[in-house]
Amino acid sequence: MKKIGFIGLGIMGRPMAKNLLKKGYALVVTDLNQEAVADLVAHGAESAASVADVAKAVDTMITMLPNSPQVEAVALGANGIADNAKPGSLLIDMSSIAPLAAQKIAAGLKEKGIRMIDAPVSGGEPKAIDATLSIMVGGDAADFAEAKPILDCLGASAVLCGSLGAGNTTKLANQIIVAVNIAAVSEAFTLATKAGVDPQLVFEAIKGGLAGSTVMNAKVPMMLAGNAKPGFKVDLHIKDLNNALDTAKGVDAPSILTQEAMKMLQYLHDNGEGNSDHSAIAHYYEKLAGVEIRPKA
């Protein structure tokens, strides 16, 4: 089966890479975190000393990196993909970055005959682990078709949303909805708690109705348990909303709710919760209300 290069073994990348190994793909991996590399090697992957070594060893690469600058450095920087990959190679960038940055990186790679699609994901660590991510893709239809069997090993759906950059635009729309949904859930369950109604019972009563959502089902149990272990960090959501706000400004789209959600996330960052799960938006409301969202004993 095809050998794939995988660059970036963080919270999301590590379980995604393991799922490709489970499906029979051979992997060549690299990351700054050598413990993560060792973990993948223990599961059957081959390690590479550098991005350049990965690019020389394969004709299909996946990047799963924090933001635009890291992807640009890996793709176009010294000892990166552009200078070392074979012409005709395909880069599947699954990072969540700014759409304009994705287009710039793709243009730089194209000069060297290297193809690229942007394919950011939604679902956080739990869905990365169980391979049920939602994958939003931008790029050429033929490149998407080539990548689709790989993407199907990582997600429950992979949808071509348009030309290159459309995947990340779709991801920004997703991240706006997720942030505002978490904020709405936090506000609602704070209200219930302040009014003396058991939030666990509120959750049971409304989760099957119109207010129910994947976000509610995933995040309310964490809020009720006081669990902020990161499936998706506050600081990463700040990064995404910054990209959303920049994009909204560039296309002259209103961003009222995004700006409000950003204020809440920035408050958490400023108060030491940048590495907490984004469900910690509930802590912002708990601080304002002077209560904790917990079931009654």
Q: Mind telling me the catalytic residues?
A: 171
Cα–Cα separations (whole angstroms), residue 77 to 72, 74, 82, 94, 254: 7, 6, 8, 18, 35
85: phi > 0 → left, psi -120 to 50 → alpha, else beta; which? beta
Alpha helices by DSSP H, the chain: 13-22, 34-42, 51-57, 68-76, 99-110, 124-129, 141-151, 166-194, 199-206, 214-225, 234-251, 256-270, 281-289
DSSP one-letter string for 133-186: EEEEEES-HHHHHHHHHHHTTTEEEEEEEESTTHHHHHHHHHHHHHHHHHHHHH
If DSSP codes are grouped into helix, strand and coil, which group holds residue 22? helix
Q: How many CA atoms lie within 13 A of 161 on its CB side?
A: 24
Best CA proximity match to 242, nearest among 118, 44, 133, 101: 101
List residues bridging with 212 in a β-sheet. none
Residues 6+ apart with CB under 8 A from 42: none
196: phi > 0 → left, psi -120 to 50 → alpha, else beta; which? left
